[in-house]
Structure 1
Amino acid sequence: MFIRTENFQTFIRLYPAVACILAIQSVLWIFCKLPIHSVILWGDAVTGYNLGVANGEWWRLITPIFLHAGFAHLLFNSMSIFLFAPALERLLGKARFLLVYVGSGIIGNVGTYFTESLDYVHVGASGAIFGLFGVYLYMVLYRKELIDQENSKMIITLLVVAVLMTFINSNINVMAHLFGLVGGFVLSFLCVQKKERRF
């Protein structure tokens, strides 16, 4: 379920939405590293910034999902998406998968806006990734026929570790993680259909 054995071309063909997300955030990370004044200004205009949102810059609730602070941040989140997102794209289909992913990220950023100070700045896909775990948690609790016991135990273990690390590590947008998790769980009631087949 979480083991990737596909080659590059097969991965893109089977999981186009996941591949697109990985490509977009990688290209944006490289782009934002260009030492060009206009690029730097653009980067400042699209990061998550609560005061900007308060001033009507609503896109800041969306764009941070695809931006990352450093290479390690990008690599860790990309690996998480690479491992855990394909199974959900296969289960839900491209449209519902993207709804859960982007929707959870937005919910995480909205939660950040309402719970953090106006000078709070953030970027990263973690809220959306936690949304994916919210879908898996929903299946573990309510749709046991979709996921076997071994994978259920793995999901619960990974989720517990991820939540603990959220509170242990510094420079973590805790609210995005928690609201993203809840967002993915709630969106599952709309996106996980009765006709889905088991992994």
Structure 2
Amino acid sequence: MFIRTENPQTFIKFYPVTVAILVLQIAIWTIYLLPLPSVQMWSNLMTGFNLGIAKGEWWRFLTPIFIHASFSHLLFNSFSLFLFAPALERMLGKVRFFLIYIGSGLVGNIGTYLIMPLEYMHVGSSGAIFGLFGVYVYMVLFRTDLIDRANSQILLTILVISLLMTLINQQVNMIAHIFGLFGGLAFAPLLLNKKSDGF
């Protein structure tokens, strides 16, 4: 379930939305390395900034999902997406997978806006990725026909470790992680097909 054995061509064919998200966030990171004033301006406009949102810059709920603060941040989130997204994209289909990913990221960023101070700034796809965890948790709790015991144990172990790291690491947006997780839990019963093939 979480082990990828596809060659690049097959991976692109089976998981086009996952690939598109990976390519987009890597491309944005690469562009932001360019030492140009216009690049810095766009970087500032796309960052999650609560004060900017309060002033009507609503796009800041969405754009931070695709931006990362450092190469290690990008690498960790891209690797997480590479591991955990394909199985869900195959099960849900392209549209429903995209809706859950973006929806969970938005819920995470809305939670950040509601709870964190106005000067708070943030970037990263972690809220959306935790939303994918939320879908898996929903399956473990309520749709055991879709996930077997072995994969359930692996998933819950990874989730517990991820949540512990969230609480320990002061640099991460804990609110986005938690709200993203619950966003995925909330969207799962709406978008999971009753006749989906399980793992």
Instruction: Name the TM-score, length of structure 2 as normaliser.
Output: 0.99
Distance in 1 of aligned mates of 2:193 and 2:14: 20
Question: Counterparts in 2 of 1:34-53, with a 5 A limit?
Answer: 34-53=34-53
Query: Hey, what does 2:98 align to over in structure 1?
Result: 98
Alignment of 1:3-14 (within 5 A): 3-14=3-14
What residue identity is the alignment partner of 2:82?
A: F
For 1:183, the equivalent position in structure 2 comes to 183
Residue 121 of structure 2 corresponds to 121
1:108 matched to which residue of 2?
Answer: 108
Shift in Å, 1:89: 0.1
Task: Quote the offset at 1:166 in angstroms.
Answer: 0.3
- Give the Å deviation of 1:7: 1.1
Shift of 1:58: 0.4
Q: For 1:10, what is the secondary structure of its paired residue? A: helix
* Helix, strand or coil at the partner of 2:85: helix
Give the 4+ runs in structure 1 shifted more than 3 A.
none
Which SS does the other structure have where 2:193 is aligned? coil
Post-superposition Cα deviations, 1:117-172, rounded to whole Å, max 9, x if no partner, equal: 00000000000000000000000000001001000001111111111110101211
Relative to structure 2, which stretch is displaced further, 107-116 or 2-11?
A: 2-11
Aligned length: 199
Q: Unaligned regions of 5+ residues in structure 1, if any?
A: none
Partner residue in 1 for 2:82? 82
Q: Report the equivalent of 1:160.
A: 160
The answer for the alignment partner of 1:62 in structure 2 is: 62
Return the offset for 1:32. Answer: 1.1
Aligned-partner Cα distance in 2 for 1:108–1:13 = 29
2: distance between equivalents of 1:104 and 1:186? 9
Root-mean-square deviation (Å):
0.5
| Aligned AA (2:97) | F
CA distance in 2, matches of 1:17, 1:155: 22
CA distance in 2, matches of 1:51, 1:198: 43
Deviations 1:14-48 (A, max 9, x none): 10000000000000000111100011001001100
Secondary structure, counterpart of 1:144 in structure 2: coil
Q: Which amino acid aligns with 1:134?
A: G
Gaps spanning 5+ residues in structure 2: where? none
Residue 87 of structure 1, CA deviation: 0.0
